[in-house]
Amino acid sequence: MKKLVIYIPSIEAGGVEKNLFYISDYLSKKNIDVYIVTANTNKKKLFSDKVNFICPNNTNWNNSSRTIKSLICLSLIVTKLPLKKISILSLQSNVLAVLLSKFFGLKIIIRLNTSTNKYISNFIKKFFFKVIYSMSDVIIVNSIEFKKNLQKILQLNSIQIFNPIKKIKIKTKKNINHFNNFNGVKILSIGRLTDQKNQITILKSLNVLKKKEINFRFFLIGAGYKLKILKKYVKDNQLVSHIKFGGYKKNAHDYIRSSDLFVLSSKYEGLPNVLIEAQLNNVPIISSNCSTGPKEILLNGKLGHLFKVGNHVSLSKIIINFCENNKDFLGKAKLAKKYLYRFDYEQNLHKYYNVIKKIL
């Protein structure tokens, strides 16, 4: 059988990487010869011994831009692997991966992680991505809405596979410093501090709560280039005693379990794992109704509350409703458990296996 090369130039901290770990581990146990090609030399220890890890010898590339990492990984594929015996599963920088595969006559599967609304903003981009993506042998997307959008915007067919999520045993709530001995409403959000995640909307909504003298604390987990801007807003609006920035955390479940309410404010998504993880932990959810992902996970508001992207006034009203009477919110969180079968670990990974087996 041919070797499967999983192309992911930059292994960061997010849902894509979590899926990478699940997919590579599962496939390696199915006797598929899996190779991870990345420029992050510092991530090898995170993978199973059955997974082959190919990266540069020089550790200086770990903090390089994704573009540079992508080019490095293309060279690694050409120089380190027998091209006649490989097929590619691209999880990142798909354009370059497709061009490489077509140049050398390789089979390629691309997995799209983020709504096309992020980067297809005009006719030229639409034409470009339609041409490039159509060169791939298979396109995988992670939500039904995403599949419909891809067909509508680029007229491309795709295979929809939900993100696989491992079930966890619910433990007692762990003490989190920011929440210790606090009797008010404990609010949590998790995500990279970037324009996409749009956490400034949450901070603005919490400023409304502060002015109404509602007793709350907010814990924001994540790292990114927006940190200084977000911290400045918190300081300028005298929110320091209410809000804490937690940085990157390896295991988010302890923090989710310690919160009363989870909030997502993204401008766009694919299928945000954090919402599914909140459902696993019985935590009520409020999410922006961004393109693809949240609406599908929350079944149009049946399993959680949705607000218009960027509308901090609407968000503040929903949070205030939660603070005053959370019965409806808790009911939706309880109901969400019944729909977690959609993200079953074994079922969704087996779908990946069936797709990949056909091109190897």
Find where tokens 């079922």 sit: 347
- Predicted confidence at residue 47, as pLDDT, reads 87
CB of 161 within 8 A of CB of 191? no
- Kindly give the pairing relationship between strand 216-221 and strand 243-247: parallel
Other C-beta atoms closer than 10 Å to the C-beta of 122 total 8
Least confident of 54-63, 69-78, 320-329: 54-63
CA dist., res. 104 & res. 96, Å (int) = 13
181 vs 32: which has the higher pLDDT: 32
Confidence of residue 270 (pLDDT cuts 50, 70, 90): confident
Q: What angle is formed at CA 318 by the lines to CA 255 and CA 272, rounded to 5 degrees?
A: 45
Question: At 54, is the secondary structure helix, strand, or coil?
Answer: strand
Tokens of 253: 């479940």
- Domains, in order of start, for the chain: 3-164+344-359 (3.40.50.2000), 177-341 (3.40.50.2000)
Q: What is the 3-state secondary structure (H, E, C) of 271-316?
A: CCHHHHHHHHCCCCEEEECCECCHHHHCHHHCCCEEECCCCHHHHH
Burial class of residue 101, CB neighbours in 10 A (0-12, 13-18, 19+): buried
Average pLDDT over residues 240-262: 89
pTM: 0.90
The span from the CA of 200 to the CA of 229, in Å, is 9
Give me the percent of the chain exceeding a pLDDT of 90. 78
- What whole-number distance in Å separates Cα of residue 86 and Cα of residue 117? 32
Query: If you average pLDDT over every residue of the chain, what do you get?
Result: 92
Does 175 score more than 70 pLDDT? no
Give the chain's count of helices (H) and strands (E). Answer: 13, 13
How far apart CA 1 and CA 116 sit, in angstroms, is 34
H/E stretch holding 139 reads: strand 138-141
The one-letter code for the residue type at 200 is I
State which amino acid sits at residue 327.
K
Q: H-type helices in the chain, by residue range?
A: 15-29, 66-80, 94-104, 123-134, 144-154, 200-211, 227-236, 253-257, 273-280, 294-297, 312-324, 327-336, 345-359
CA dist 339 and 255 (Å) reads: 22
Provide the Cα torsion 229, 230, 232, 233; round to 10°.
120
124-171 per-position pLDDT tens digit:
999 999 999 999 999 999 999 999 999 999 999 999 999 998 876 655
User: What mean pLDDT do residues 184-189 have?
Assistant: 96
What local confidence, expressed as pLDDT, does residue 360 receive? 87
**Contact predicate 54/86, CB 8 Å:** no
